[in-house]
Amino acid sequence: MLCQMLSLATIVVFYSIYIGKMIVQKRKGIQTDYIAKGKKKSTIMMIEVIMKFATYSIVVVEMISITLNSYMFFNPIIRIVGIIVGLIGVIVFAIAVYTMKDSWRAGIPDDDKTTMITEGIYGISRNPAFLGFYLTYLGILLTLFNWLLLAFTIFSITLLHVQILLEEKYLPTVFGKNYLEYKKRVRRYIGKKEL
């Protein structure tokens, strides 16, 4: 029961950060959510629609997993590791969102100018918010493991990775050489590159 409660708390805190940031930016007149919105190429729009479905549906599957108490790993060490990984994911996500300040966006905007952030956690990861998603999803998977949750975790992480690849094609059109230099210095998920 404790693992279910901690998993629920992880989900609530994670999405409270996500939704809270959107609300704060909306009050400042900043649109944050560009996922599957605007005039985009059909391929990008389709990927973003599927990604949006994946990120919403995994929450439903996580909640079902908590409710049914149907985890398959009975080893408490694996479940404890899952809780720790999930909490690390929430912390990484919170730091990433905070560090982005008002430049944080979800999805690829049509025509929105932001500041490129390369300091703080962005100095060791180009995509720490996505890394936070991955760690949170994986932590909950380890804590509440079942086959349906595994399938949705893989599905969601795969779609988020595809979104990153789309953003990596988009960002040079906005930030030009600065982004390409940054990409040479900092790895996609974690670590600096040897130059």
As a whole number of angstroms, the distance between CA 69 and CA 108 comes to: 37
As a whole number of angstroms, the distance between CA 93 and CA 70 comes to: 27
Tell me how far CA of residue 1 lies from CA of 6, 8, 69, 192, in angstroms.
9, 11, 8, 40
If residue 86 lies in a helix (H) or strand (E), which one and from where to where? helix 76-100
End-to-end CA distance of the chain: 49
pLDDT of residue 35: 84
pLDDT at residue 49 greater than cutoff 80? yes
Average pLDDT over every residue of 151-177: 94
Average pLDDT of the chain, as a whole number: 91
Closest CA to 61 of 130, 1, 146, 157: 146
Report the top-level CATH class of 2-185: mainly alpha
| 8 Å CB contact between 103 and 120 | no
Residues ≥6 apart with Cβ < 8 Å to 98: none
| 8 Å CB contact between 54 and 156 | yes
Confidence of residue 2 (pLDDT cuts 50, 70, 90): confident
How does pLDDT run across 50-100, given as a tens digit for each residue? 999 999 999 999 999 998 876 666 788 999 999 999 999 999 999 999 999
- Could you tell me what percent of the chain has a pLDDT over 70? 96
Tell me how far CA of residue 116 lies from CA of 64, 72, 74, 76, 139, in angstroms.
38, 43, 45, 42, 30
| 8 Å CB contact between 120 and 96 | no
DSSP 33: B
How does pLDDT run across 101-145, given as a tens digit for each residue? 998 888 888 777 789 999 999 999 999 999 999 999 999 999 999
As a whole number of angstroms, the distance between CA 51 and CA 158 comes to: 9
Confidence of residue 42 (pLDDT cuts 50, 70, 90): confident
